[in-house]
Chain A
Amino acid sequence: MAERTNARGQFTAVLRSEFLGLVRDRRALFSAIVLPVLLYPLFFFGQRWLERVSRETLEARQVASRSICRARPRRSPRRYRELLAQEAQLRVVDGDASALQALEPELAKGTLEAYQREQAAASQVLASGADAFVAAIAIDEAPGLELRAWFDSTRDLSNEARRRATKALEALHAELAHEKLVQVLGADPAAGLEPRAVDVASAEDLSGAALGRLLPLIAVLVLLSGGSYAALSAFAGEREAGTLETLLVQPVPARTIVAAKFAAVLATALSTLVFNAASILGSMALGLGGLPGLGPESGGSAIAVGAGRLAAAAFVFLPAAVLLCALLCLTCGRARTFREGQNLLLPLMLLAVLPTLLATQQDVELDLLLAALPLAGPALCVRDALRGELAPGLVAWMYVANSAWAALALSRVGHALDAERVLSTAGDENEDARREVQSRAALRWGVLCVFAIYLIGGSLQAWSLVPGLVLTLLVLVPLLAWLSARGTARRAKETLAEAFALRAPNPLHVAGAVLLAPALQQVSMQLFAWQERVLPMPADSGTQGLLRELVAMPTWAMVVLLALLPAIGEELFFRGALYSGLKRDLPLWKCAAYEFVLFGAAHASIYRFLPTGVLGAVLTCVAARTRSLWPCIALHASYNALVALSDTWPVLARPELAFLSIAGFLALLARPRS
């Protein structure tokens, strides 16, 4: 009992010191509370005020317009002048426009010369005191009128004069068209052809739908920016200030410290969110700002979403808030300094925004898969909650799945202050620096190779497909691989063959790699299918065309061009030269991540990025496990062959084949040759 009281006291002490630190930090206070409270009203108000002022100033200004309107029907010019006169502050000046009138026959020809002379003549007219100049020209050959407005787009007044003159012309046009329709139909067309639109959505539905598109994204961004300062100060700041070691020798379990720090981060992030949301909703309720997509007729600026929907949205967003704060703590726990923490937070923000963006897509429906995705599920639930279309079953599933994600992240946060990792002093700085240089050089070659494949490989293949493909895969890519591996080998003082990992493999590994191909093919088919829902492939993309051309070839040629050559060329570079450089400094997961991005990018198609990226990451793991390039070449070749041949022999795409991969996986567990 006393232990528990003590633990509670310790928790409160840590929490209190975190809050004291934050409250006394002017920057934190300003960005979490003062800024949002002031920002939104100022932003909305300022925007409206600016719009109004500029509109009023322009409307108050006199603009002069010259017009000629000498066309049939005779009545039109007079009516146009009347309409122009109705536009307030628009003075119609009758002046000398003879130069333009003289041009009329030539304008009909529409040549470049005529256009240039027209511009010169018009600028003379505009220089003589008019702001814009509108003319209707009757062209003999063509039926009807040609209308022209001359203006100077760099002058506000000229733009305004043009707007008013054009508006008058539009009104004239509408009048004439209406008259004509009445003639043809024999009745008022407005009564017969225009349906009266009746929107069945309530004001709350409309405003909820508009808010639902924006709020999840805003919530994630605000939560991250509000919590990031607290997380940086609680974790990275503690290490930077040199207080962490002291904290860890206090008679307090590390998990109590971490729990209190996490609570501080969560509370700060949530209060920032609450202040921001209150400020946004308050500004809208006061009529200061409106939501995009809501016209004035639907109650535009006023927000009509009820408290019930807002509460539901807050409830479904909770697991995302916990997950995001846990991720903030995890990220900042890795950083040694504030600055390092800030650098780590940027990628986290980008990663967090991506799944949330799904909620801005109106046609993405919440389903079992999306509900289980971290952040995407809660974001879509917030959207649906604001629309008033929450499906209880899916929400429950989202809650279960996302709570599991949050719990997973929280369990990792428990190790954020693991002294073994945080304070470990093993290391030799020179050696570390050398390794970093090697990895960076490999990465630079990787990026260069991707661009070379785009630019040089692309133009070679555009020149002639088959020779281009052969040259790219057998000359260009191996050449880059050789250049890159030569540097790595020189720096690491090893042979070129070692840098390419061209050592004799365990034969079991080669067999295992080949057997892994069917499962990979199934995975990539699933990825294609999934991607098709989010990012549908256009019916006729460039790559598709290329594939069609290759598929028309004899089978053996197809296997050579699509399976064998890419396997050799790409593996030499990606799992040979690139991976051998990357692994000097980076852990396997980072190497695999870089390989994912670069290998995916090298295939030059956003639609193939995901499957090829996954293939690249898997091949990297195979290279790491087998310590040889040959199993990678075997897997790559058999995967490509399966994909290429499954059109001809559909049996190759049967899901049952994937079971072979279990044997393949087991074979890969065998020890590599020493």
Chain B
Amino acid sequence: MSASPYPPRGAAPIAIEAIGLEKSFVDPKRGVVKAVRGIDLDCRRGEIFGLLGPNGAGKTTTLRMLATILAPSAGTARIDGVDVARDPLEARRRLGFLSGSTGLYPRLSPRETLAYFGKLHGLTGDALDARIEELVDAFSMRDYADGRCEALSTGQKQKVSIARAVLHDPPALILDEPTTGLDILASSAMIDFVESRRSAGRCVLFSTHVLSEAERLCDRIGVIFHGRVLDVGTKDELRERTGKTWLEDVFKELVRRAGEDPDAAAARGRSV
């Protein structure tokens, strides 16, 4: 299961890259809040990269910066070689984004939803229709492609959301806790989908706080805590460096080395 044939480092081009990424919010009541304090990572085509960390570690903020939704306070982010700060629109053309809390327009049908986002990506006419048909078949949505999204089940909605995210076949896919709120069947379908992207030679960067997911899917894992990357590597590399077997212990050990007491962190309501 975990013996995924991840590509040798340096072989495939980098699809998602962060260099010294920082984000500070100015909160009128609390002053400056540093959510992300300097993150470096690179994900290549054909690779699944997992960002593992507790709630509040800065995962969502990092992914939102990479996805051009938030502007970094410092550092650089590139999608498929395009600097997100310099040309956000071009970066978005090469990027698919999906988060666990993503919703759909309740009064549009799946087909209309796909057509809407296709048009936003500049697709029109026959090319758009053909791509929609392709996706409807690929995700077996034909039975409910013309009903309203509000009437769909969670699993069906999930399929529409995924189809929407890969409509323009982006080289880089960013998924923010994509299995949150899904039942077993739907989340296993999501895991299959992530694996299929890797087979297609695309890059997937996803965040999770579910250790088993990270263990099963990721070619490489970045452990993130308090806005910093504590370590990056394959599962075996991380195990070797920390001397622990289980991913949970690996995580605790990394936090301990960073000078934080993991139990105290958990007691503050930030469970792993």
Q: Once bound together, how far apart are the Cα atoms of A242 and B68, in whole Å?
A: 17
B69 with A241: CB separation less than 8 A = no
A17 with B116: CB separation less than 8 A = yes
A420 with B70: CB separation less than 8 A = yes
Asked whether B108 is an interface residue with its Cβ less than 8 Å from the other chain, the reply is yes
Q: Once bound together, how far apart are the Cα atoms of A660 and B71, in whole Å?
A: 45
Residue-wise interface mask of B (136-170) relative to A, using a CB-CB cutoff of 8 A (1 in contact, 0 not): 00000000000010000000000000001000000
Asked whether B67 is an interface residue with its Cβ less than 8 Å from the other chain, the reply is yes
Residues in B whose Cβ lies below 8 Å from that of A12:
119
With A17-B105, A426-B30, A431-B30 as given contacts, are A245 and B120 in contact (CB-CB < 8 Å)? no
Residues in A whose Cβ lies below 8 Å from that of B207:
none
Residue from A20, A248, A251, A432 in contact with B122 in the complex, judged by beta carbons closer than 8 Å:
A251
Asked whether A552 is an interface residue with its Cβ less than 8 Å from the other chain, the reply is no
A381 to chain B, nearest CB (A): 38
B119 with A424: CB separation less than 8 A = no
B89 with A251: CB separation less than 8 A = yes
With A251-B120, A423-B69 as given contacts, are A243 and B107 in contact (CB-CB < 8 Å)? no
B67 with A249: CB separation less than 8 A = yes
Asked whether B209 is an interface residue with its Cβ less than 8 Å from the other chain, the reply is no
Residues in A whose Cβ lies below 8 Å from that of B103:
241-243
B25 to chain A, nearest CB (A): 4
Q: Once bound together, how far apart are the Cα atoms of A270 and B108, in whole Å?
A: 24
Residues in B whose Cβ lies below 8 Å from that of A14:
120
Residues in B whose Cβ lies below 8 Å from that of A428:
30
Name the residue on B nearest A247 (C-beta). Answer: B120
Contact residues of B between 162 and 198, Cβ < 8 Å to A: 164
Residues in B whose Cβ lies below 8 Å from that of A20:
107-108, 112
From B12-20, B92-100, B214-222, give the one contacting chain A: B92-100
Name the residue on A nearest B64 (C-beta). Answer: A423
Asked whether A571 is an interface residue with its Cβ less than 8 Å from the other chain, the reply is no
Residues in A whose Cβ lies below 8 Å from that of B71:
420
Q: Once bound together, how far apart are the Cα atoms of A501 and B205, in whole Å?
A: 51
With A10-B119, A25-B107, A249-B92 as given contacts, are A426 and B102 in contact (CB-CB < 8 Å)? no
Q: Which among A12, A243, A427, A587 has the greatest number of chain B C-beta atoms within 10 A?
A: A243
Residue from A16, A25, A253, A425 in contact with B35 in the complex, judged by beta carbons closer than 8 Å:
A425
Q: Once bound together, how far apart are the Cα atoms of A10 and B33, in whole Å?
A: 36
B83 to chain A, nearest CB (A): 15
Q: Once bound together, how far apart are the Cα atoms of A21 and B103, in whole Å?
A: 15
B33 with A426: CB separation less than 8 A = yes
Residue-wise interface mask of B (14-48) relative to A, using a CB-CB cutoff of 8 A (1 in contact, 0 not): 00000000000101111001010000000000000
B104 with A243: CB separation less than 8 A = yes
Asked whether B256 is an interface residue with its Cβ less than 8 Å from the other chain, the reply is no
B119 with A9: CB separation less than 8 A = yes
Residue from A10, A242, A243, A435 in contact with B29 in the complex, judged by beta carbons closer than 8 Å:
A435
Residue from B70, B104, B108, B148 in contact with A423 in the complex, judged by beta carbons closer than 8 Å:
B70
Residue from B102, B117, B121, B124 in contact with A245 in the complex, judged by beta carbons closer than 8 Å:
B102
Q: Please report the total number of B residues contacting A with Cβ < 8 Å.
A: 41
A13 with B102: CB separation less than 8 A = no
Asked whether A250 is an interface residue with its Cβ less than 8 Å from the other chain, the reply is yes
Asked whether B76 is an interface residue with its Cβ less than 8 Å from the other chain, the reply is no
With A423-B64, A425-B61 as given contacts, are A250 and B70 in contact (CB-CB < 8 Å)? no
Asked whether B260 is an interface residue with its Cβ less than 8 Å from the other chain, the reply is no
With A25-B107, A246-B164, A420-B71 as given contacts, are A251 and B90 in contact (CB-CB < 8 Å)? yes
Residue from B93, B102, B120 in contact with A10 in the complex, judged by beta carbons closer than 8 Å:
B120
Residues in B whose Cβ lies below 8 Å from that of A155:
none
Residue from A16, A243, A245 in contact with B69 in the complex, judged by beta carbons closer than 8 Å:
A245
Residue from B61, B70, B107, B122 in contact with A6 in the complex, judged by beta carbons closer than 8 Å:
B122
B251 to chain A, nearest CB (A): 22
B69 with A251: CB separation less than 8 A = no
Q: Once bound together, how far apart are the Cα atoms of A251 and B119, in whole Å?
A: 10
A587 with B120: CB separation less than 8 A = no
B185 to chain A, nearest CB (A): 21
Asked whether B106 is an interface residue with its Cβ less than 8 Å from the other chain, the reply is yes
A250 with B105: CB separation less than 8 A = no
Residues in B whose Cβ lies below 8 Å from that of A427:
27, 30, 33
Asked whether B208 is an interface residue with its Cβ less than 8 Å from the other chain, the reply is no
Contact residues of B between 216 and 269, Cβ < 8 Å to A: none
B108 with A250: CB separation less than 8 A = no
With A245-B69, A587-B28 as given contacts, are A251 and B107 in contact (CB-CB < 8 Å)? no
Residue from A24, A241, A250, A420 in contact with B104 in the complex, judged by beta carbons closer than 8 Å:
A241
B120 to chain A, nearest CB (A): 4
With A423-B70, A425-B35 as given contacts, are A250 and B120 in contact (CB-CB < 8 Å)? yes
Q: Once bound together, how far apart are the Cα atoms of A21 and B98, in whole Å?
A: 22
B120 with A241: CB separation less than 8 A = no
Residues in A whose Cβ lies below 8 Å from that of B106:
21, 241
Q: Once bound together, how far apart are the Cα atoms of A17 and B113, in whole Å?
A: 9
Q: Once bound together, how far apart are the Cα atoms of A428 and B27, in whole Å?
A: 11
A430 to chain B, nearest CB (A): 9
Q: Once bound together, how far apart are the Cα atoms of A12 and B93, in whole Å?
A: 19
Name the residue on B nearest A252 (C-beta). Answer: B120
Residue from A6, A9, A245, A435 in contact with B99 in the complex, judged by beta carbons closer than 8 Å:
A245
Residue from B30, B60, B99 in contact with A425 in the complex, judged by beta carbons closer than 8 Å:
B60
B29 with A21: CB separation less than 8 A = no
Asked whether A131 is an interface residue with its Cβ less than 8 Å from the other chain, the reply is no
A17 with B108: CB separation less than 8 A = yes
With A423-B70, A435-B29 as given contacts, are A253 and B89 in contact (CB-CB < 8 Å)? yes
Asked whether A88 is an interface residue with its Cβ less than 8 Å from the other chain, the reply is no
Name the residue on B nearest A585 (C-beta). Answer: B29
With A242-B101, A245-B102 as given contacts, are A250 and B25 in contact (CB-CB < 8 Å)? no
Residues in A whose Cβ lies below 8 Å from that of B117:
246, 250
Residues in A whose Cβ lies below 8 Å from that of B99:
245
Contact residues of B between 58 and 80, Cβ < 8 Å to A: 60-61, 64, 67-71
B82 to chain A, nearest CB (A): 11
Residues in B whose Cβ lies below 8 Å from that of A425:
25, 35, 60-61
B244 to chain A, nearest CB (A): 31
A24 with B107: CB separation less than 8 A = yes
Residues in A whose Cβ lies below 8 Å from that of B68:
249
18 contacts between A and B (CB under 8 A): A16-B116, A17-B108, A21-B106, A21-B107, A21-B108, A24-B107, A241-B106, A243-B103, A245-B102, A249-B92, A251-B90, A420-B70, A424-B25, A425-B61, A427-B27, A428-B30, A432-B29, A584-B29
Q: Which 7 A-B pairs have the closest CB atoms?
A: A242-B103, A426-B25, A13-B119, A241-B103, A426-B33, A251-B92, A250-B120
